[in-house]
Amino acid sequence: MPNAEKIDPAKMTGAQKAAVFLIAMGEDYASSIFRTMNEVQMSSIAFEMAHIEEITPEMLDAVSKDFVVKFEGDLKMLIEGESFLRQVVTKSLPDDKALAILDDLAKKRREKPFIWSKDVNLNILSGSIVLEHPQTIAMILAHMPPDIASAILMEVSDDKKGDIAIRIAKLGQVSEDIVRDVDEALKKQLSGAVGPGGGKIGGVEVLVNIINGVDKATEEIIMGHVEESNQEMADDIRKRMFVFEDMVGVDDKAMREILKKVEGQQLTYALKTATEEMKKKIFSNLSQRAGDMLKDDLEAMGPVRLAEVEEAQQAIVRAAKELEADGSITLGGKGKDDVLV
């Protein structure tokens, strides 16, 4: 037998991971899998199996987690994978260790709290949440997708908006059990309105993401309250906020990606009150034809309600934020030197 060697669970190759699985599953299962492989695959995995002296809990844990990460989101594979993993873990480890690993994997697969809010009628959802205690509202909004939280915060009565914003900014680590309990209770309450388909920390950054999506009137109410209560916090929020005019510092490549997501009328309205620097930034990232059409639209446009202009500008900011969220671009906050890296 070749000399056995210790394997670092964090540095296992694909062949080593496959070898760990097959050894753990036993000879009969391994034989059936080998019959489905080509010679190269079989040789590679067999070589690794010959060099494994023992399968440690750390090795099996690493392999199991890697499997879940690769197939997470594919319901069919996840169901089959769970059955497969249960067999491997329960056959290879003592009951207490097997249960600990399976519980850990189950927690990692649990749906994020309040993610279902994207599939609920917004009016019904807002109507239920705004009646809660301000601290509960703050906790819920801090855990919701920012665009949904922004829409709900705009529906909160003006006299409560500032208080809730302060609570979000000061929200610390919330017990996951509490978050899950509120999540389940609200989901059950709204069961007729929901379509198919460790507690997060609150804080200033969460509040900033929410404020970036509210209308100007709500933003002013919130910031006025924050400034009265905590000037230092207000200054921190303003430094982190990313607004329409901050896009003059966005990289040209990123700006072109943003403009692809913006409707023509939105862009026309947004430029109505934009600075010359901002207009120059936009036009420099449009084709000659698109730029000429935009200039013609601006010249032909009559008076427009300020609220419509601000909504168009916020829509563009939201588009930028969505691109940042999916990793397509990176945005910095207002006043930062590294706006795009």
Task: For residue 332, tell me if it sits in a domain.
Answer: no
3-state SS, residue 312 = helix
**Are 146 and 224 in the same domain?**
yes
Nearest to 117 by CA among 148, 143, 155: 148
Q: What's the token pair of residue 224?
A: 């006025």
As for how many domains the chain has, the answer is 3
pLDDT of 3 > 60? The answer is no
User: What's the mean per-residue pLDDT of the chain?
Assistant: 77
The pLDDT of residue 91 is 66
Burial label, 243 (beta-carbon count in 10 A; 0-12, 13-18, 19+): middle
Give yes or no: residues 213 and 300 share one domain.
Answer: no
Residue 130 is assigned to a structural domain of this protein: yes
When comparing pLDDT for 317 and 26, which is higher? 317
CATH code for position 319 = 1.10.220.30
pLDDT score, position 102? 67
pLDDT in tens, 234-290: 888 887 777 788 888 888 888 898 999 888 888 999 998 889 999 999 999 999 999
CB atoms within 10 A of CB 271: 23
CA distances from 258 to 170, 250, 262, 313 (A): 32, 10, 7, 12
Say whether both 83 and 127 belong to one domain. no
Among 63, 82, 109, which residue terminates a domain?
109
Specify whether 254 is located in the same domain as 311. Answer: yes
Q: Do 94 and 126 lie in a common domain? A: no
Residues 137 and 226 in one domain: yes
Domain boundary among 79, 109, 139: 109
66 and 142 housed in the same domain: no
**Per the domain annotation, does 3 fall within a domain?**
no
> 338 in a domain, yes or no?
no
Alpha-carbon distance of 288 to 294, in angstroms, equals 10
147/199 same-domain check: yes
**pLDDT at position 108, please?**
53
In the numeric block, which tokens belong to residue 211?
């404020």
Question: Which residues have C-beta within 8 Å of that of residue 182, sequence separation ≥ 6?
Answer: 113, 136, 139, 140
The fraction of the chain above a pLDDT of 70, given in percent, is: 80
Whole-number pLDDT of residue 219:
83
In this structure, are 234 and 248 located in the same domain? no
Q: Which helix (H) or strand (E) holds 257?
A: helix 252-260
More confidently predicted of 140 and 42: 140
pLDDT digits (tens, 9 = 90+) for 69-118: 554 444 444 344 455 556 666 666 677 777 776 676 666 555 677 877 87
| Whether 105 and 156 share a structural domain | no
In a domain, 334, yes or no: no
Examine residue 24 and state whether it is found in any structural domain, yes or no. yes
241: Cα within 13 Å, side-chain hemisphere? 19
Tell me the C-alpha distance between 285 and 262, whole Å: 13
Instruction: Give the end of a domain, one of 109, 125, 153.
Output: 109
Distance of CA 41 to the CA centre of its chain: 37
Same domain, 76 and 159: no
Q: What domain range is 261 assigned to?
A: 244-325
165 and 253 assigned to the same domain: no
Q: Report pLDDT digits (tens) over 146-196.
A: 888 988 999 899 999 999 999 999 887 788 888 888 888 888 877 654 443
Domain for residue 335, yes or no? no
Domain presence at residue 340: no
